[in-house]
Amino acid sequence: MNDDTGHGFPAAHCAGGSTVSEAAAGAILTIDLGAIRENYRRLKARLAGVRCAGVLKADGYGLGAAPVAAALIKEGCDIFFVALLGEGIALRKSVGPGSDIFVLNGLPPGSESEAVAAALHPVVNSAAQLKAWRETARASGRTLQAAIQVDSGMSRLGMPPAEVEALSKEAFDGIDIRYVMSHLACADETRNPANEEQRLAFERLRRMLPAAPASLANSSGIFLGAPYHYDLARPGAALYGINPTPGEANPMLPVVRLQAKVAQTRSVGEGAGVGYGHTYHARGPLRLATISFGYADGWHRRAASAAWFEGMRLPFVGRVSMDSIVLDISALAAGRLGEGDLVELIGPSQSVDDAAGHAGTIGYEILTSLGARFHRRYIGA
Ligand SMILES: *Cc1c(COP(=O)(O)O)cnc(C)c1O
């Protein structure tokens, strides 16, 4: 294998930034592939024999679809979901021929031959997409595989009930329906009655289609219990360490560590203005550290937040800049933190979900926003 990152993955297959050396980088993103594998095993244990796919959309939730896929394959995972055809084509190049890859958003009209060439299966979301895939099968003279998605109540993707009811038997000529699937809108809210309403709607809709294995649960859906498991689960977030059971202890292992480097430290006197717009003024003498990390690296400019060093909270002061953030390090003994030292933004002191809470968003957005300038380190492979 072309091991030019030192981690078993060709650099070109890792997301941007992996070629920046640790010494040169402003921030370091460590991704624990061993933790992803353990999270997959934990989900499998809950699923008690039901198959478990891996959702790798948005470059594996920002963590690198290729290395994550390789880790999941080692756990026996051979079904992957991506959102877009382009993601599927890239993933096929990295995983080779052995795995099934489904494209959740369906195929844009005119792109069907590209899906055939890369051996990708569409998630068929409309009667028009079904017709296009049927015609592609006829033209290619063979049976083509697909998942059929029905809208059980999220109103986002999938065939609406009226469209499902109107389908003839011939509508599926030349198509091997691998799964009938749907997606839950409120799976992270255990008590929300929408979950059971969607499950019952899914039951009703799948009976109108040719018999096929079924798939409904995302990460949180797995924790709604066995009636939601069907024949295939489709977790993404939980694999990456995001809590699939908000409000309860996280049953998953953390996967991501994000550390930023101190670019400079300084002392300022009372009244000193800090950062653009002088939105912060020192209320007394302060020691400050500026880190090489900013909104261009995916940290929301509006997020009031903090970094951590050896268990100490170091609050952001002033505005988040494009490439830098100023921290108040007065709580640390003088000289304890200097140029080149690393502070933690995501890690043992501040989980992805904690960081998301401070930023008024969700862990999914924190991970998929992570920028391209980090030195990426894959461990646990
Ligand atoms: C994103 C997605 C998933 C995975 O959801 P998580 O909440 O990340 O587990 C599963 N199915 C569909 C249709 C999705 O869009």
239 Cβ neighbours under 8 A, 6+ residues apart? 36, 39, 40, 43, 54, 55, 68, 72, 219, 252, 255
Q: Is 57 a catalytic residue?
A: yes
> Are 230 and 269 in the same domain?
no
Q: Is 276 a catalytic residue?
A: yes
> Are 100 and 52 in the same domain?
yes
Ligand 1 pocket test: pick from 55, 228, 353 the residue with the most ligand atoms within 8 Å of its Cβ.
Answer: 55
* Residue 301 confidence (pLDDT): 84
How do residues 83-109 score in pLDDT, each as one tens digit?
A: 999 999 999 999 999 999 999 999 999
Mean pLDDT rounded to a whole number for the chain: 94
* Residue 18 confidence (pLDDT): 61
Indicate which CATH number applies to the domain containing 328.
Answer: 2.40.37.10
Q: Is the pLDDT of residue 7 over 80?
A: no
Percent of the chain with pLDDT over 90: 92
Between strands 121-124 and 79-82, the pairing is: unpaired
Examine the fold and report which residue of 240, 267, 292 is the final residue of a domain before the chain moves on. Answer: 240
> Are 211 and 288 in the same domain?
no
Total tally of structural domains belonging to the chain: 2
Indicate which CATH number applies to the domain containing 102.
Answer: 3.20.20.10
Whether 17 is in a domain gets the answer no
Whether 7 is in a domain gets the answer no
> Are 73 and 104 in the same domain?
yes
> Are 138 and 283 in the same domain?
no
> Are 103 and 191 in the same domain?
yes
Whether 132 is in a domain gets the answer yes
How do residues 206-219 score in pLDDT, each as one tens digit?
A: 999 999 999 999 99
Whether 52 is in a domain gets the answer yes
SS3 track for 244-283:
CCCCCCCCCCCCEEEEEEEEEEEEECCCCEECHHHCEECC
* Residue 2 confidence (pLDDT): 35
In the predicted model, what is the mean pLDDT of residues 315-334?
96
Q: Is the pLDDT of residue 270 over 60?
A: yes
In the predicted model, what is the mean pLDDT of residues 188-206?
98
Burial environment of residue 218 by CB neighbours within 10 A (0 to 12, 13 to 18, 19 or more): buried
Residues with CB under 6 A from ligand 1: 55, 57, 104, 183, 218-220, 234-238
> Counting atoms of ligand 1 from 1, which one is nearest the CA of 238?
9
> Are 179 and 276 in the same domain?
no
> Are 219 and 315 in the same domain?
no
Q: Is the pLDDT of residue 10 over 90?
A: no
* Residue 35 confidence (pLDDT): 98
Find the domain containing 46 and state its range. 33-240
Whether 251 is in a domain gets the answer no
Q: Tell me: is residue 1 an annotated ligand-binding position.
A: no
Whether 355 is in a domain gets the answer no
> Are 236 and 273 in the same domain?
no
> Are 223 and 306 in the same domain?
no
Whether 103 is in a domain gets the answer yes
> Are 102 and 164 in the same domain?
yes
* Residue 271 confidence (pLDDT): 97
The reported pTM is 0.94
Whether 16 is in a domain gets the answer no
User: How close is the Cα of 112 to the center of ligand 1, in Å?
Assistant: 23
How do residues 336-369 score in pLDDT, each as one tens digit?
A: 999 999 999 999 999 999 999 988 899 999 999 9
Ligand 1 pocket test: pick from 47, 183, 250 the residue with the most ligand atoms within 8 Å of its Cβ.
Answer: 183
* Residue 359 confidence (pLDDT): 86
Q: Is the pLDDT of residue 176 over 70?
A: yes
Q: Is the pLDDT of residue 16 over 60?
A: no
> Are 210 and 310 in the same domain?
no
Catalytic residue among 57, 280, 295, 378: 57
Q: Tell me: is residue 156 an annotated ligand-binding position.
A: yes
